[in-house]
Structure 1
Amino acid sequence: METIYRYSVQLLNGETIALKQLQGKPVLIINIASKCSFAAQLSALEKMYKKYHSFGLEILAFPCNQFGRNEPLEDAMLKEFYNSHFDLSFMICNKVQVNGPDAHPLFNYLKSHTRGISQNRAIKWNFTKFLVNSEGELVSRYAPRTKPDTLRPVIESHLYNEDSPIQFAKL
């Protein structure tokens, strides 16, 4: 089965991450935008990351300017904005395109294995979320309006280890 492990991404700090480094961890992948009305979800995502990261959860956020020109910032300004407004500790990647001929290959993979709004493969807006299991396989796709807190049960189910049950307190 095809996985995300064949891809690499570049972080805002210039570091390149081979996604096979995330093997054994569930990963939430999101296209984000600083000026989007859904940007408040970043605080909820950070809260989720802080709670579940020690259990293996990784979050990869990809700034994207393809929807409503909601991500006008570039490079250092992106890093400054997300750090100063949201104090994000999860990985923020370089700005990418998620649709069209210049779409990042990771998003082409994610779209080819799921359908979104109206059963369409294209990403329709910022804050579309993709959950990948610890084997690197795409589990599910979530609409931009899906609040991060509603993903808790499914994320917890992917963090559960039969040999060592984990009990999660409420966020």
Structure 2
Amino acid sequence: MSIYDFTVTTIDGEITTLADYKGKVLLIVNTASACGLTPHYEGLQQLYDTYRDRGLAVLGFPCNQFAGQEPGTEAEIKSFCELKYNVSFPMFAKVDVKGEHAHPLFTHLLQEVPEPYRTGEIEWNFVKFLVDRDGQVVRQFSARTEPSALTDDIEALL
């Protein structure tokens, strides 16, 4: 199965697939609004602003699996992201990223990360997956990796 075949729901409730992002470099991130790492939204938005015209799409997937740090509704999450961090990159409905109810996209991402970047887990909010223009997972970055640290990897794929 290709990454482009996965069905996802936008933060506004529209069901779609990732096929809309074919040919783009993707940075897929599980996010949370009440986490110590929530300021990563600012860095993610900066990456999006800097590179979207060259083909980068940042995709945010809120998740409430880590210490209940994303308790809000999709409408609340969207409002928070827009008002606090001016997020304009695509956001999606809340998903599980681990366990028996994990969204198949995140199961796929974990399985496809190449060595030596494969961890086999999503340890916290703001784990970042970098996907090339052909839909291949290139790298997984830990939750604590600042978005600005991804610049060289993103540039190499653009």
> TM bucket by the smaller chain?
over 0.9
CA distance in 1, matches of 2:141, 2:57: 17
SS at match of 2:20: helix
SS in 1 for 2:35: coil
Distance of 2:74 and 2:125 partners within structure 1: 18
Letter in 2 for 1:16: I
Once the two structures are TM-superposed, the CA of residue 11 in structure 1 deviates from its matched residue by 0.9
AA paired with 1:150? A
Runs of 5+ consecutive residues of structure 2 not aligned to the other structure: none
Whole-angstrom CA distance in 1 between matches of 2:133 and 2:7: 17
What is the CA distance between 1:80 and its match in structure 2?
A: 1.0
Matches within 5 A, 1:69-148: 69-114=68-113, 120-148=119-147
The residue type equivalent to 1:151 in the other structure is L
Give the AA of the match of 2:120: R
Aligned to 1:35: 34
Contact between 1:3 and 1:138, CA under 8 Å: does it hold in 2? no
Q: Which residue number corresponds to residue 26 of structure 1?
A: 25
Equivalent AA in structure 2 for residue 49 of structure 1: Y
CA distance in structure 2 between the partners assigned to 1:23 and 1:133 by the alignment: 10
Q: Is residue 154 from structure 1 mapped to residue 139 from structure 2 by the alignment? A: no
**CA shift for structure 1 position 21:** 1.6
User: 5+ unaligned residues in a row in structure 1: which ranges?
Assistant: 160-171
* Cα distance between partner residues in 1 of 2:41 and 2:6: 24
1:143 alignment partner AA: S
Across the two proteins, how many residue pairs are aligned to each other? 157
State the structure with more CA Rg: 1
Correspondence for 2:45: 46
2-structure distance, mates of 1:17, 1:25: 16
Structure 1: which 4+ aligned runs deviate by more than 4 Å? none
**CA–CA distance in structure 2, aligned partners of residues 155 and 134 of structure 1:** 11
SS of equivalent residue, structure 1 residue 91: coil
**CA displacement 1:16-51 (0-9 Å, x = unmatched):** 332122111100000000011011111011011011
Contact 1:115 1:121 in 2 (8 A): no
CA–CA distance in 2 between the matches of 1:55 and 1:123? 28
Aligned Cα root-mean-square deviation (Å): 1.7
